[in-house]
Amino acid sequence: MALLAAHLLFVAWFTLRPLDVPWVSAANLHPLAGIRSDLALGWREAALRLGEGLALLAPLGVLLPVAGGRLYVSLWGSLVRTAALAALISLGIELLQTGVPGQVVDIDSLLLNTVGVVLAHLLVVPALRSRLRRRAELDPLPPQEAAQGPTPTIPRVGIAP
């Protein structure tokens, strides 16, 4: 949870700080227009700009499901929840940038940020959950019972209270 908060604070600082620039380009509200213009600049510049967009929120693809703490959950359900929350966070950042000097709204940032989160989720979370499930199966008692002991039963009834 602390890593999630630290990452969100870094993203807020990085994206919402005022920039001292001589001029600001117009807002990009046409999907994929900015990506096309980046690709027209050459492969090196395009890779740098697209990589920045993909990497900015990508750690949320792992941190959000880990913060939830559920091991037994549908891959698709987890992916949809994580992608939706990442898209909302990215949209919030883009909306807040309208009031920050030197920052410009870009719909492609929202798309790249969300795709980065989805890719990180798909690459890391299923393997991580599988590993944690195997570890949990090897433990003789679940963490709550290990800390508190087994649930006491009433001998004459035979069930837990």
pLDDT, residue 131, reads 92
Q: What is the pLDDT of residue 102?
A: 87
CA–CA distance, 57 with 119 (Å, rounded to integer):
11
> Is residue 24 assigned to a domain?
no
- Please check whether residue 148 lies inside any domain of the structure: no
Does residue 7 surpass a pLDDT of 70? yes
**Torsion angle, alpha carbons of 129, 135, 138, 144, to 10:** -90
Is the pTM above the cut of 0.85?
no
Tens-place pLDDT, residues 75-119: 999 999 999 999 999 999 999 998 898 888 999 999 999 999 999
Cα(13)–Cα(7) distance, integer angstroms: 10
Rounded to an integer, what distance in angstroms lies between the CA atom of residue 21 and that of residue 15? 15
Residue 35 included in any domain: yes
CB 58 within 8 A of CB 114: no
User: Has residue 37 been placed in a domain?
Assistant: yes
Which domain does 100 fall in, by range? 30-136
**Residue 87 forms part of a structural domain:** yes
Per-residue confidence (pLDDT) for residue 62, from 0 to 100: 96
pLDDT digits (tens, 9 = 90+) for 37-81: 999 999 999 999 999 999 999 999 999 999 988 888 999 999 999
CB atoms within 10 A of CB 130: 11
For residue 74, the one-letter residue type is S
pLDDT of 143 higher than 60: no
Is 150 inside a domain boundary? no
135, pLDDT greater than 80: yes
100: in domain: yes
Q: Is residue 69 included in any domain, yes or no?
A: yes
pLDDT digits (tens, 9 = 90+) for 14-42: 999 998 888 788 888 999 999 999 999 99
DSSP string computed for 49-102: HHHHHHHHSTTHHHHHHHHHT-SS--HHHHHHHHHHHHHHHHHHHHHHGGGSTT
What pLDDT is attached to residue 58? 97
pLDDT at 148: 61
User: Per the structure, how many domains does the chain have?
Assistant: 1
